[in-house]
Amino acid sequence: MAIIIAFIIFVAAFQQSLSGFGFSLGAMPILVQLVGIQLAAPWWLC
């Protein structure tokens, strides 16, 4: 599971370096499906 999450974050970072956005459109929907909204977007980071 950790390798999959690391790969998703790597792809999102690469996408962000190319286009200027990546985490919000690429990583977050996939991470929410894998680990849930509470872990993907903790309240203390918002």
pTM exceeding the 0.85 threshold for the entire prediction: no
Convert the pLDDT of each residue in 3-46 to its tens digit: 999 999 999 999 889 988 778 888 889 999 999 988 888 777 66
Non-local (6+) Cβ contacts of 15 within 8 A are 21, 22, 25, 26
SS (H, E, C) 5-27: HHHHHHHHHHHHHHHCCCHHHHH
**Considering only CA atoms, which of 32, 36, 24 is closest in space to residue 12?**
24
